[in-house]
Amino acid sequence: MAPTHVQSLEVLALHEPYPLILRITTQSDLLTQRPALEVSRDFSESRPDNPLVKQSVSPYVSPHKRFPMITNAIHPESAVKQRYAAAARTREPALCCAVEYDRRFLEVIPKEVIEKDYGCGDPSRYLKPGETVLDLGSGSGKICFIAAQIVGPQGKVIGVEMTDEMLEVARRNAPMVARQLGFANVEFRKGRIQDLELDLERLDERLKSRPISDAASFLAADGLAQDLREREPLVASDSIDVVVSNCVLNLVEPRSKRRLFEEVFRVLKKSGRAVVSDIVSDQPAPQHLQRDPQLWSGCISGALTEQGFLQAFAESGFHGMQILQRDESPWRTIEGIEFRSVTIAAYKGKPGPDDHATAQASPCRDGGACC
């Protein structure tokens, strides 16, 4: 790496018995938000020849130690995009857990969308008529099309997705669903859920007339992206009643997880809530599992522990976290670690009387898990 390209150098950790970890951010990381290069040297084994190792870090693996755990040198986002681009073309059964959706809502949804279901729960059942809903990682659009029917013509549903092939399936099927319903209240936008301000299609358009060919045009593009975030955000602050997501948060690369939860908080109205189904584990996934791109894109390696998941919401300012649904049996058990689906509600403001419906739907009333 040429020294002129280094934007910042950050010491992430320098405590025995942990390794020294440095985060080196280059100029290109600023625009693409690719993981910065992280290098570590393990001083716990006092070997003078102990080499520097390229790695990235997971901020939420250990809820007790506020200390990042070393994970991998793979690029999780590329692995995820590749896997779901293929899964948008041909159904991949290994990517989905069995979920019971309300059959009434499936009747108007085209078969292609239902077949390309890669969810692990059903956050849509906690929605109410008239709400504005944001679905993170909307895939082929199933949860959005169910939500559209629940919120009705007075409500609105926005799906955000980064994989072109998935967006194509969802957008192509949206007019068919609207025709069946007699109203159109769903739209799909291209973006990364950890950066809900940046509209990737607008950025693409603008960059066509200003291709990046050198450092100066690169920095100009970075400025353009920042300008777009401020002037024409993909999802505005305080604009959403309910953020839902079905089996996606685990797929966000470790160093963007904190920002992801902060973005969920930003876009919600003060009275808003998040209802998220996702895979969580009962122990942190060890490094060798995290280095496996198949396990990454397969909703395993990036899963937070259940406690880490709740803590991530709390650390981003959420209140009143509730476990609405928790699968008794694990979806998968790998090396003794159980990975299961949970559905969690978290409130931006303190829950009020309007949230009665959600509380009623919660198994907490029947002795289910609550925090």
Please give the backbone phi and psi of residue 96, each rounded to the nearest 5 degrees, phi first.
-125, 145
- How far apart (Å, rounded) are the C-alpha atoms in residues 340 and 362? 18
Q: Residues interacting with ligand SAM, by CB under 6 A? A: 80, 84, 95, 117-119, 137-139, 142-143, 160-163, 166, 192-194, 246-248, 251-252, 299
- How far apart (Å, rounded) are the C-alpha atoms in residues 277 and 8? 36
DSSP state of 48: T
Length of the chain: 371
Q: Which is nearer to ligand SAM, 163 or 358 (CB)?
A: 163
- How far apart (Å, rounded) are the C-alpha atoms in residues 6 and 71? 22
Q: Minimum distance between the CB of residue 153 and ligand SAM, rounded to whole angstroms?
A: 23
Q: Which is nearer to ligand SAM, 40 or 138 (CB)?
A: 138
Q: Minimum distance between the CB of residue 56 and ligand SAM, rounded to whole angstroms?
A: 15
Concatenate the DSSP letters of all residues of 241-301 into one string: EEEEEES-GGGS-GGGHHHHHHHHHHHEEEEEEEEEEEEEESSPPPHHHHT-HHHHHTTST
Query: With helix as H, strand as E and coil as C, how does 141-168 read?
Result: CHHHHHHHHHHCCCCEEEEEECCHHHHH
Q: Which is nearer to ligand SAM, 18 or 60 (CB)?
A: 60
Q: Minimum distance between the CB of residue 362 and ligand SAM, rounded to whole angstroms?
A: 21
- How far apart (Å, rounded) are the C-alpha atoms in residues 263 and 276? 14
- How far apart (Å, rounded) are the C-alpha atoms in residues 51 and 39? 10
The residues, ordered by sequence, that sit 6+ positions from 117 with a Cβ below 8 Å of its Cβ are: 96, 99, 139, 140, 142
Residue 12's CB is within 10 A of a number of other CB atoms, namely: 16
Q: Which is nearer to ligand SAM, 55 or 246 (CB)?
A: 246
Q: Which is nearer to ligand SAM, 55 or 250 (CB)?
A: 250
Q: Which is nearer to ligand SAM, 95 or 268 (CB)?
A: 95
- 3-state secondary structure at position 347: strand
Q: Minimum distance between the CB of residue 146 and ligand SAM, rounded to whole angstroms?
A: 10
Q: Which is nearer to ligand SAM, 95 or 147 (CB)?
A: 95
Q: Which is nearer to ligand SAM, 61 or 249 (CB)?
A: 249
Residue 303, CB half-sphere, CA atoms under 13 Å: how many? Answer: 31
- How far apart (Å, rounded) are the C-alpha atoms in residues 228 and 26? 22
Structure tokens at 252: 């966000």
- How far apart (Å, rounded) are the C-alpha atoms in residues 184 and 239? 19
Q: Which is nearer to ligand SAM, 21 or 200 (CB)?
A: 200
Q: Which is nearer to ligand SAM, 21 or 113 (CB)?
A: 113
